[in-house]
Amino acid sequence: MILETFPVGPLQCNCTIVADEETREAIIVDPGDEIARIHRRLAALGLTLKQILITHAHIDHIGGALKLKRLTGASIYLNEDDLPLLDIMAEQAAWVGVDTPETAPPDEGLRDAITVGLANYPAQVLHTPGHTQGSICLHFAPLKMVLAGDTLFAGSIGRTDLPGGNGEQIIHSIQNRLFTLPDETKVIPGHGPATIIGKERRTNPFLK
Ligand SMILES: [Zn+2]
């Protein structure tokens, strides 16, 4: 398996590549920015991109998705409850102080419980609203890993003061969907360092 996580763009969104070393097929999660660099990396590794998975439609996570789709032909996946955030992309760009990226409706939805990813590295979609209404996490059960978007961070949780945010909902999502995963599950958040489910369940100050 190839697994690479690296921050992109001014808000340093964690972008993750998961690939099968045998088939050279890959998926990418949250290519928010720096698409030329990401495209070069995929080419250097000799990978064919199959899916562009977006944890939620904030600009720092989805900003580069359409550009990457045009370069690779891969489909874009997004939970439909975040479609309203695509309509305010210019407003989102103004929050960050960047140009408005071109976006398009997703090719595929990311409904709760469906399986996405690669044949050898499948991921189950966990719908975890709260940071946004369409926020999802991707649980790679065989890899004991969850990509948590901006729902859960090491020692923190996603902000809920932006449009579509809901503080009670994010706590409910974390308690009922993430903290029910096995203790040893590695968490790769949307920003910052990785952590472990068991550690966050014991120590995260926002979940006391
Ligand atoms: Zn966000």
From ligand 1's centre to the CA of 98, what distance in Å?
A: 16
Q: What is the pLDDT of residue 208?
A: 81
**Cβ(207)–Cβ(156) under 8 Å?**
no
Compute the mean pLDDT over every residue in the chain, rounded to the nearest whole number: 97
Residue 135 CA to ligand 1 center (angstroms) comes to 9
Q: Using one digit for the tens of pLDDT, what is the confidence trace for 24-35? A: 999 999 999 999
pTM of the model: 0.97
Residue 160 Cα to ligand 1 midpoint, Å, equals 9
Task: Characterize 86-122 residue by residue with b for buried, 16 or more Cβ atoms within 10 angstroms of its Cβ, and e for exposed.
Answer: eeebeebeeeeebeebebeebeeebeeeeebbbeebe
Residues of the chain with pLDDT below 50 are: none
CA 132–ligand 1 middle distance (angstroms): 7
In whole angstroms, what is the distance from residue 206 CA to residue 158 CA? 10
Report CA(131)–ligand 1 centroid distance (Å).
7
Ligand 1 centroid from CA 56, angstroms: 7
Residue 49 Cα to ligand 1 midpoint, Å, equals: 24
105 Cα–ligand 1 center, Å:
18
Phi, psi of 88 (to 5 degrees): -115, 35
Distance 95 CA to ligand 1 centre (A): 12
